Structure 1
């Protein structure tokens, strides 16, 4: 369908810590973003949302204040080996992230416009909360 845009996220097992996000627009690759999990500021927690992750859960300026719905969103980031599970809440729904090779990714579908960024929680193997994006000074909680 003309005007359709989506993203594909890929991570490498060896060497760990690399990710690629490809933008597919109108059926053709229109952009690529790469990143590594080792560029995080000191003192970051065991879960680190990717710096460019906002591109995956915000609509573009072309929406001009009114989102085109339904909207498929995603969040990607890194996790320490101690993190066993990640959940992401966005737009009134919670999704379990896939956690693999030191990365997490979660996605879902918004059926209404939102003003608050996804809330990300990380848990250790015992189910103890070890990260909450609401407590992360680097995570912007509101959307423009």
Structure 2
């Protein structure tokens, strides 16, 4: 079992996946900051200065707080403003990933097109047969 685990870990795909997860986590933090610190304040200023993250509906009568953090301490709340923020995070992240995948696909297409445009070198056996043909033709 230990040997199988070592083989699994030593495969390149597993390491690529690990790097991708780590970079994705860091990238997620950047997107969260972009949405929370830049986009949402601008949206709030445009729509009258409100903060989406503090929009909630109390689900019990004991909740009387004005901020989401305080309301969660008092009881159950329906935090739809926080959900809107998370959805915006997701849309931005999905769009950025889409653009990255689109760029990689375009690069691959260009590489394939360049490779197809280059004349392929003849196989070694074809070169040898051509040389034999030329030698036989020169003896006549």
**What band does the TM-score fall into relative to the shorter chain?**
under 0.3
TM-score, normalised to structure 2's length? 0.19
Pick the structure with more strand per residue.
Answer: 1
Tell me which structure has the larger Cα radius of gyration.
2
Higher relative contact order (CA 8 A, sep 6+): 1
Pick the structure with more helix per residue.
Answer: 2
TM-score, normalised to structure 1's length? 0.19
